[in-house]
Amino acid sequence: MARISGSNGARTAAAIRSSARGLIYRHGYAAMNLRELATEVGISPGSLYNHITTKQGLLFDLIAEHMAALLAETDAALAAAGPDPMARLRAFIAHHLLYHFERRQEVFIANFELRSLEPPNHARVVAMRRSYEGRLIALLDAGVATGELDIPDTHVAAYAILAMLTGVCTWYRPDGRLSKEELVALHTRLVLDGVRRHRGEAAARAAPPARPAAKAQGKRARAKTPLSPRRRGG
Amino acid sequence: MARISGSNGARTAAAIRSSARGLIYRHGYAAMNLRELATEVGISPGSLYNHITTKQGLLFDLIAEHMAALLAETDAALAAAGPDPMARLRAFIAHHLLYHFERRQEVFIANFELRSLEPPNHARVVAMRRSYEGRLIALLDAGVATGELDIPDTHVAAYAILAMLTGVCTWYRPDGRLSKEELVALHTRLVLDGVRRHRGEAAARAAPPARPAAKAQGKRARAKTPLSPRRRGG
DNA sequence: CCCGGAAACTAACGTATGTTCGTTTTCAAG
DNA sequence: CTTGAAAACGAACATACGTTAGTTTCCGGG
């Protein structure tokens, strides 16, 4: 009994990827074993190799496809948002969240199984990730240029924003208390209020915890100056 | 040649934990193997079992100790900050970042090897984590109560803030461009501007893209209701 | 109808891994 | 000096895993 009746290469390949996503998401790449994957797909372990090169190749394919899709869809969303920097920033935030809600597993895998990729594969994925971060950094820079945003360091801000937005996936559940739209609204506000230029009360809001004294002196002088450029001793 | 001259139980145990932290941090729990650990410590694989119960027990010990320390030190930092809600919030942010800078490996392990814990161990760590989140939620609630903070949903805000702050550890490097203090200042500002009450321009900034309807009904009544229970599996 | 490839099967290989076991050596207490 | 626990050793066990090999069956094109 081999070559089961009605078997279909494309369908099996899709089932493998789908099951692999779930297994890696739940157990991690290293802890996932191909026998369990084969069982879930409904074929024998050896048959997997009609559709994958190696376990490592399977992981890379899953991650690379996800990253490519994320980049493409993000660009589409930004294009649809038009030229206004703030509109584009809102579009980025909303798209990031909605895409991540939709594909929690892929996102999680791409973020936390990066280290499981062998060097050449690793480098390729990192490059795609950099590219994605670069899009947000560019948006923030654009907002700073128009004066609508007030961000001392757009790189740091971009990483912080991405961490915050991506973090939602770790606890979001479709049947949870809050809808996707509510979460988008909440996080849009959190992000924008964090980077927007506020009238009047500009300075001293990042004052060190202990001393409420340094209240009125700095005004907004340092807002545009780059952060201390060089490293410290050790 | 066994029981090497000058050997010392406590020192070996510490070396095991230290090496295990590094190995799990770099390779992940499942991918770490005890032979490599033993080699790094400088003993034979079997000798590990003079100091650990099982591989799983070692992971649990590492995580549980970290969580206990985090809770204890956080409480100390909050106590030192006095009673003012905003001062306490600043203290929480600063302490969270500094602690996480100091112990990046433990933090990473505690966050991303949770799933590698067997159910009973998993439950105990989750409880500690809940407790930590609870401290921030309480701080936000206190700020809302005094009117200094303006937060539609303190649970969501707390998770978002923790994700943002913890995310810094994924890219912070001691010899990087920004010092710890600068990062604390930047993130304190990002967080506080995200949750602070802004004068005048209060409303409509979180308007949902699609349906602005469900806006005025809940107000902040539901800020206290618990989220739908988190489940592990998919 | 026939035939070659696609896609499945069974079986096994080689290795790696967590863990156990019995032994041996050091050190400190009596 | 004796003794017993602590802490190391080397060896092995049992299993699990990724992967390969050879074989068998179904299906579509000639």
The answer, for A145 touching chain B at a CB cutoff of 8 Å, is no
Residue reference for tokens 């070692």: B58
Residue B3: pLDDT band with limits 50, 70, 90: low
Is strand D within 7 Å of residue B33 (CB)? no
Asked if B234 and A25 come within 8 Å (Cβ–Cβ), the reply is yes
Is strand D within 7 Å of residue A2 (CB)? yes
Distance, CA of B197 to C1' of C4, in Å: 74
Total residue count of chain B as it appears in this document: 234
Q: What's the pLDDT at A214?
A: 35
The answer, for B199 touching chain A at a CB cutoff of 8 Å, is yes
**Of B176 and A228, which is predicted with more confidence?**
B176
SS3 assignment for chain A: CCCCCCCCHHHHHHHHHHHHHHHHHHHCCCCCCHHHHHHHHCCCHHHHHHCCCCHHHHHHHHHHHHHHHHHHHHHHHHHHHCCCHHHHHHHHHHHHHHHHHHCHHHHHHHHHCHHHCCHHHHHHHHHHHHHHHHHHHHHHHHHHHHCCECCCCHHHHHHHHHHHHHHHHHCCCCCCCCCHHHHHHHHHHHHHHHHECCCCCCCCCCCCCCCCCCCCCCCCHHHCCCCCCCCCCC
Q: Which of B112, B81, B109, B135 is nearest to B22 (CA)?
A: B109
Express each pLDDT in B191-233 by its tens digit: 999 888 876 544 433 333 333 333 333 334 343 333 343 333 3
Burial pattern B76-109, b for ≥16 Cβ within 10 A else e, equals ebbeebeeebbbbbbbbbbbbbbbbbebbbbbbb
Closest nucleotide over all strands to B31 (CA to C1'): C17
Q: What's the pLDDT at A146?
A: 96
Chain D: bases < 7 Å from a protein Cβ: 6-12, 16-27
**A39 Cα to chain B: minimum distance (Å):** 18
Asked if B210 and A181 come within 8 Å (Cβ–Cβ), the reply is yes
- Choose from A155, A175, A177 for mutation: most chain B CBs within 10 A: A177
The answer, for B77 touching chain A at a CB cutoff of 8 Å, is no
Q: Are A183 and B206 in contact (CB under 8 A)?
A: no
Mean pLDDT (chain B) is: 85
Q: What's the pLDDT at B170?
A: 84
Closest nucleotide over all strands to B5 (CA to C1'): C26
The answer, for A23 touching chain B at a CB cutoff of 8 Å, is no
Q: Which residue type is seen at B31?
A: A
Can you say whether the dihedral through the CA atoms of A67, B210, A187, B112 is positive or negative? negative
Closest nucleotide over all strands to A3 (CA to C1'): C8
The answer, for B87 touching chain A at a CB cutoff of 8 Å, is yes
Q: Is the pLDDT of residue B9 over 80?
A: no
Q: What's the pLDDT at B221?
A: 38
**Of B225 and B157, which is predicted with more confidence?**
B157
- A177: which 2 tokens? 């208390």
Phi and psi torsions of A54, nearest 5°: -145, 175
Express each pLDDT in B39-88 by its tens digit: 999 999 999 999 999 999 999 999 999 999 999 999 999 999 999 999 99
Q: What's the pLDDT at A197?
A: 84
- Amino acid whose CA is nearest the C1' of C6: A9
What domains does chain A contain, in order, with CATH numbers?
Answer: 11-52 (1.10.10.60), 54-198 (1.10.357.10)
- A111: which 2 tokens? 């973020």
Q: Which of A185, A184, A191 is nearest to A98 (CA)?
A: A184
**A90 Cα to chain B: minimum distance (Å):** 10
Q: Which of A27, A191, A170 is nearest to B227 (CA)?
A: A170
| Euclidean distance between CA atoms B58 and B66, whole angstroms | 13
Is strand D within 7 Å of residue A184 (CB)? no
- Amino acid whose CA is nearest the C1' of C7: A3
Residue reference for tokens 């009605």: A6
pLDDT beneath 50: ranges in chain A: 1, 201-234
Which residues contact residue A46 at a Cβ distance below 8 angstroms, ignoring those fewer than 6 apart?
none
Q: Are B206 and A189 in contact (CB under 8 A)?
A: yes
Q: What's the pLDDT at B225?
A: 37
Q: What's the pLDDT at B10?
A: 85
H or E stretch covering B228: none
- The SS3 assignment for B202 reads coil
Q: What's the pLDDT at B67?
A: 97
How buried is residue B16: exposed, middle or buried, by Cβ count under 10 Å (0-12/13-18/19+)?
A: buried
Asked if B31 and A30 come within 8 Å (Cβ–Cβ), the reply is yes
- The SS3 assignment for B89 reads helix
**Of B81 and B9, which is predicted with more confidence?**
B81
Q: Are A21 and A109 in contact (CB under 8 A)?
A: yes
Q: What's the pLDDT at B6?
A: 57
H or E stretch covering B203: none
Q: Which of B31, B168, B233 sits opposite A160 (nearest CB)?
A: B168
